[in-house]
């Protein structure tokens, strides 16, 4: 039997969160400084490069927020969906599945319309977008409504059947309407709280209520991103909190569980959130370096003649191509014969754009000469 007051929401006035300001001050100051520096650097890039960084960040955010839940989307579909919704003209757009469009729609509404009021209807619309066919994996779920717990209490469980471990049990469904009304009011009216701290609290508060049958983690991260956009005062996202959480997935779930089973002092959660955000800002510096490398590459080769297949593959290589490049991969991606692929590659070797990694005929690997 679960002991009395095992979870934070079972305590009286559980949302009167407290924390130790002196523990957070230096971390918060570093985060805010990094945010300001990053935004300044991005503004100096100019519109084309800034748009590329923006597109890459949003694509990464959608992919990684979904991966945290153990689901994997097609990166090209996500990128195409983001680009279409932002009216960005880029080559090679492909159709996207409805579930991909739904995740993109939610994140873009949260970050592009960050000034708009959060409402019950908006959250229900996000949930409907996340699950366009009313299913999560192989299971039918309640979509666009709060959960009802008709099949039992909402629990976060791990382990094999018969050896399950309950990490968290959400508040009773009968309390959701009240809890969410309180959360939404706070989110819309709390203006005295430091904006980044508010993002961390919003994330924790929402995911603890767990108002939906599925999708709560993705929606909690979208709400946190919405508040971070308010903190930045910008709808252009250049860092991905979800990408960093994906790297720290186990620690993320551990600190959530520990805080949800703790007191209303959420200092440890806030420390973890700030550390994670700081790491995501530092990771963006590498992304910026990659974007600049791409810009420099094309600037150096602006007078070089490339065919469409070569431009396609060079863009992929500059964007950190996954795995080894071979004639077989070239032919598959460009939808051409291996002989055509080999001619394309040989031309780039002659122009010293590509380098051979090792010998071996058609199994030879090629690298971009940076």
Query: Which of the two residues, 317 and 201, has the higher pLDDT score?
Result: 201
* Distance, CA of 203 to CA of 212 (rounded, Å): 15
Residue 1 pLDDT: 39
3 state DSSP class of 362: helix
What is the share, in percent, of the chain residues with pLDDT greater than 90?
Answer: 70
**Residue 158: which pLDDT band, with cuts at 50, 70 and 90?**
confident
Give per-residue pLDDT as tens, 329-368. Answer: 999 999 999 999 999 999 999 999 999 886 555 568 888 8
Q: Please, what are the domains in the chain?
A: 8-293 (1.10.3290.10), 307-368 (1.10.10.10)
Residue 163 pLDDT: 81
Tokens representing 105 are: 């729609």
* Contact assessment for residue 127 and residue 213, using Cβ atoms and an 8 Å cutoff: no
* Overall average pLDDT of the 28-52 stretch: 86
φ, ψ for residue 91, nearest 5 deg: -80, 155
* Distance, CA of 366 to CA of 315 (rounded, Å): 14
* Distance, CA of 194 to CA of 44 (rounded, Å): 27
φ, ψ for residue 355, nearest 5 deg: -125, 145
* Contact assessment for residue 98 and residue 140, using Cβ atoms and an 8 Å cutoff: no
Give per-residue pLDDT as tens, 253-278. Answer: 999 999 999 999 999 999 999 999 99
Residue 362 pLDDT: 52
Query: Which of the two residues, 293 and 144, has the higher pLDDT score?
Result: 144
Distance from first CA to last CA of the chain, Å, rounded?
Answer: 62
* Distance, CA of 65 to CA of 218 (rounded, Å): 6
Residue 293 pLDDT: 77
Give per-residue pLDDT as tens, 186-195. Answer: 999 999 999 9
- Answer yes or no: is pLDDT of 183 > 70: yes
* Overall average pLDDT of the 304-317 stretch: 91
Tokens representing 300 are: 């150096």
* Overall average pLDDT of the 37-62 stretch: 86
* Distance, CA of 48 to CA of 316 (rounded, Å): 17
Which residues partner with 156 through β-bridges? 168
- Answer yes or no: is pLDDT of 3 > 70: no
Query: Which of the two residues, 36 and 48, has the higher pLDDT score?
Result: 36
* Distance, CA of 338 to CA of 155 (rounded, Å): 53
Residue 320 pLDDT: 60
* Distance, CA of 144 to CA of 136 (rounded, Å): 13
Residue 300 pLDDT: 87
Give residues with Cβ within 8 angstroms of 65, minimum separation 6. Answer: 103, 107, 217, 218, 221, 222, 242, 245, 246
* Distance, CA of 242 to CA of 280 (rounded, Å): 9
Residue 90 pLDDT: 80
Residue 158 DSSP class: E
* Distance, CA of 38 to CA of 53 (rounded, Å): 12
- Answer yes or no: is pLDDT of 142 > 70: yes
- Residue 25 burial (CB < 10 Å; 0-12/13-18/19+)? exposed
**Residue 322: which pLDDT band, with cuts at 50, 70 and 90?**
low
Q: Which of 198, 217, 146, 167 is nearest to 7 (CA)?
A: 167
């Amino acid at each position: 039997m679960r002991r009395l007051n095992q979870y934070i929401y079972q305590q009286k006035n559980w949302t009167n969160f407290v924390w130790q300001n002196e523990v957070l001050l230096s971390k918060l100051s570093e985060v805010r400084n990094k945010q300001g520096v990053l935004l300044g650097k991005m503004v100096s890039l100019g519109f084309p490069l800034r748009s590329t960084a923006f597109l890459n960040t949003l694509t990464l955010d959608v992919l990684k927020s979904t991966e945290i839940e153990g689901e994997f989307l097609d990166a090209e579909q996500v990128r195409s969906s983001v680009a279409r919704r932002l009216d960005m003209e880029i080559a090679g757009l492909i159709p996207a599945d409805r579930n991909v469009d739904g995740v993109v729609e939610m994140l873009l509404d949260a970050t592009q319309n960050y000034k708009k009021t959060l409402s019950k209807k908006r959250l229900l619309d996000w949930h409907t977008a996340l699950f366009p066919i009313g299913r999560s994996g192989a299971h039918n779920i309640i979509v666009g409504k709060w959960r009802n717990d008709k099949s039992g209490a909402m629990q976060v469980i791990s382990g094999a059947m018969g050896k399950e471990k309950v990490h968290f049990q959400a508040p009773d469904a009968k309390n959701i309407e009240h809890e969410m009304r309180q959360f939404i009011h706070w989110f819309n009216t709390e203006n005295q709280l430091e904006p980044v701290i508010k993002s961390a609290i919003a994330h924790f508060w929402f995911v603890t209520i767990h108002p939906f049958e599925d999708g709560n983690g993705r929606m909690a991260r979208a709400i946190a991103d919405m508040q971070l956009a308010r903190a930045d005062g910008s709808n252009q996202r250049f860092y991905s909190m979800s990408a960093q959480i994906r790297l720290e997935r186990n620690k993320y779930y551990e600190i959530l569980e520990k805080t949800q089973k703790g007191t209303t002092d959420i200092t440890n959660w806030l420390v973890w959130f700030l550390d994670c955000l700081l790491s995501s800002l530092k990771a963006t510096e590498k992304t910026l370096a990659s974007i600049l490398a791409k810009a420099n590459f094309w600037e150096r080769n602006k007078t070089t003649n490339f065919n469409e297949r070569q431009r396609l593959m060079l863009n992929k290589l500059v964007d950190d191509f996954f795995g080894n490049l071979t004639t077989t991969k070239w032919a598959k991606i460009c939808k051409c014969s291996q002989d055509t692929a080999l001619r394309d590659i040989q031309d780039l070797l002659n122009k010293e754009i590509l380098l051979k990694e090792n010998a071996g005929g058609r199994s030879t690997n090629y690298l971009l000469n940076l």
